[in-house]
Amino acid sequence: MVLRKIGDGVFFLPSIDWDRRLFDSLIPLPDGTTYNAYLIEGSEKTALLDTADLKMRDSFLSSLKEIKRIDYLIAHHGEQDHSGLIPDVLERYPETKLVVSSKGKEILLVHLPIDEERVKVVEDGETLDLGGKTLQFIYTPWVHWPETMVTYLQEENILFSCDFFGLHLATSETFVRGTYPLEAAKRYFAEIMMPFSPIIQKNLEKIKSLKISLIAPSHGPIWGDPDLIMERYRQWTGEKGENKVLIPFVSMHDSTRIMVDYLSDALIERGVQVERFELPHTDLGRIAMGLVEAPTLILGTPTVLAGAHPYAAFAAFLVNALRPRLRFVSLVGSYGWGGKTVEQISGLLGNLKVEILEPVLARGFPRESDFKALDRLADSVLESHRKEGII
Ligand code: FEO
């Protein structure tokens, strides 16, 4: 890893994890990721902003070998993919003060072996002068832990945003190029940030008055056009959805699949977009991305062992955790002799403020009356979207 200059005395240190394919043992990383640190040299002091995941220890510490002194280590966030090497940096540079938000102190001392004497707490809006380089710390809680903050370098108009505006994309590029990073950023938003959309809107407001020339996140390349990603965040956290239905489903002997096929066609005929996901083979990130805009989710599941198929229950649990701006939910599927599928799935969606559209459960193979019920469900989706002003 080499230090890449991105401004006067400002350097980018991305640790590129080309081959990582899973984060938090849950989130697919189809394109790997990076853990970004930054180095800022003032005329009097030097600051390192964040570190990297523990697995990058050797290359990260090696990239700092020419750096003789670090006065401040700014830790924007306690999660170990950025904080994992803080103890190593503090050990190598005994003069370094660890600069954190007030909540960050609590979080970091809980998660890492750090001497409290080395910690310097900065308040929201406080500045730190490195000598011609002024760091302004801005508390931006819940992007995506309670302690998260960002740093604004006043002289260069660079916002070091940590996970905020990040994207999981292993690349040798320093700056965002082309349109694919926006897809990766949407995936990142859906998986990491979406549960905190209301507070993210407040954080967007908080940084609105800053003149920002670069957004330097802790994952992926740097945004040379900050408005591009900030505008997307405004859209993704906004209130209006698209005229779209997500249908995650699982089928054992094709009865549920036939119902999903029929419902998909019925919705498309009515001008409603459909995104389908066959759960046993689905990239969870694609479902999360669909949830950013879809106001309606219809889960397809057979009844098995008196309840929903475990894949459907897992999907419901995940949707509930991600807290998307869904407005309507329903369920379709086949059953053999009974069960508590509807009650079970409803019970898993307690975080969501949604209206339940009449589920359609067919006994065994779906018949004419079931298809008519699916037509009524499609009508109901269309009407609900109209009522919400989505179409
Ligand atoms: Fe990239 Fe929340 O750590």
What torsion do the CA atoms of 127, 128, 134, 135 make, to the nearest 10 degrees? -70
Q: Which atom of ligand 1 is nearest to the CA of 144?
A: 2
Cα-to-centroid distance, 111 and ligand 1 (Å): 14
Q: Which atom of ligand 1 is nearest to the CA of 148?
A: 2
Closest residue by CA, ligand 1 atom 2: 79
Interatomic CA distance for residues 70 and 113, integer angstroms: 19
Q: Which of 378, 31, 71, 289 is nearest to 173 (CA)?
A: 31
Cα-to-centroid distance, 107 and ligand 1 (Å): 13
Three-state DSSP state, 309: coil
How far from chain centre, in Å, is Cα 135? Answer: 26
Cα-to-centroid distance, 241 and ligand 1 (Å): 27
Interatomic CA distance for residues 28 and 322, integer angstroms: 15
What is the pLDDT, as a whole number, of residue 339?
Answer: 92
Would you identify the CATH topology of the domain 246-384?
Rossmann fold (3.40.50)
Cα-to-centroid distance, 99 and ligand 1 (Å): 17
What is the pLDDT, as a whole number, of residue 2?
Answer: 79
Residues of the chain with CATH 3.40.50.360: 246-384
Rounded mean pLDDT for each run of 10 residues along the chain, 391 residues in total: 92 98 93 98 98 97 96 98 98 98 98 98 98 98 98 98 98 97 98 97 98 98 98 92 97 98 98 98 96 97 97 98 97 96 97 97 98 98 96 93
> For the chain, what is the radius of gyration of the CA atoms?
24
Q: Do 313 and 307 touch, CB atoms closer than 8 A?
A: yes
Q: Which atom of ligand 1 is nearest to the CA of 35?
A: 1
Q: Which atom of ligand 1 is nearest to the CA of 218?
A: 1
Q: Which atom of ligand 1 is nearest to the CA of 162?
A: 1
Q: Which atom of ligand 1 is nearest to the CA of 145?
A: 2
- Classify residue 76 as left (phi > 0), alpha (psi -120 to 50) or beta: alpha
Closest residue by CA, ligand 1 atom 3: 79
SS (H, E, C) 96-164: CEEEECHHHHHHHHHHCCCCHHHEEECCCCCEEECCCCEEEEEECCCCCCCCCEEEEECCCCEEEEECC
How far from chain centre, in Å, is Cα 154? Answer: 27
Cα-to-centroid distance, 143 and ligand 1 (Å): 9
Q: Which atom of ligand 1 is nearest to the CA of 219?
A: 1
Cα-to-centroid distance, 193 and ligand 1 (Å): 10
What is the pLDDT, as a whole number, of residue 388?
Answer: 93
Would you identify the CATH topology of the domain 4-236?
Metallo-beta-lactamase; Chain A (3.60.15)
Cα-to-centroid distance, 18 and ligand 1 (Å): 17
Cα-to-centroid distance, 83 and ligand 1 (Å): 9
The strand pairing partners of 158, in sequence order, are 153, 214
Instruction: Show the ligand 1 pocket: residues with CB < 6 angstroms.
Output: 77, 79, 81-82, 144, 163, 218-219
Closest residue by CA, ligand 1 atom 1: 163
Does the pTM of the predicted model rise above 0.85? Answer: yes
Residues of the chain with CATH 3.60.15.10: 4-236
What is the pLDDT, as a whole number, of residue 250?
Answer: 98
